Amino acid sequence: MKTVYDFTVKDRTGEDVSLSDYRGKVLLIVNTATGCGYTPHYEPLEAMYRDLKDRGFEILDFPCNQFANQAPGDAEKIHQFCTLKYGADFPQFKKIDVNGKTAEPLFEFLATEKPFAGFGEDKSTAVLRRFSKLNNLRFGDKAYIKWNFTKFLIDREGKVVARFEPTTDMKEVRKAVEAML
């Protein structure tokens, strides 16, 4: 059975990183953007990371510019923004695509394991639903991720156990992470 440990990704400097390096840890894998309405999620993400990393928790941050060009700039600019504005200290990887023919294979795997199940009833869902329809038209069966700050929870064996859309309250995400620890 395939797990996240079967994937190798690029860190923000372009070096290969095997996700097997994170074996035995609880992971939260997130596609992010620096200019999104959900960018403030960096604050509770960093707080969760700071509070829980010593218990075997890691957040893996993958910037993505596929949603309304909300992650402009190169890896260094993105990293500086996240560090200076939010104090983000968790691992940040190379900017990637999460949809289409150029989608990062890791995200194709994550979204296949835990497909999109809806945005819920957050006040911003009407806009996200419209964009999601356009996304589906643009990428067809390769429209894996619907918006920035989609989060995947991975257990200590490398299995995908939950998917959280950006509209999910961060308290709910933290509660799920803490239950895995």
CA distance 111 to 160: 9
Q: What count of residues does the chain have? A: 181
The tokens describing 152, both together, are 């995947």
**Cα→Cα distances 175→97, 179, 181, Å:** 28, 6, 10
Is 64 a catalytic site residue? no
29 touches 152 (CB < 8 A): yes
CA distance 63 to 146: 14
CA distance 162 to 38: 19
Active-site pick, 36, 71, 96, 145:
36
94 touches 10 (CB < 8 A): yes
Per DSSP bridges, beta strands 160-164 and 26-32 are: unpaired
Residues taking part in catalysis:
36
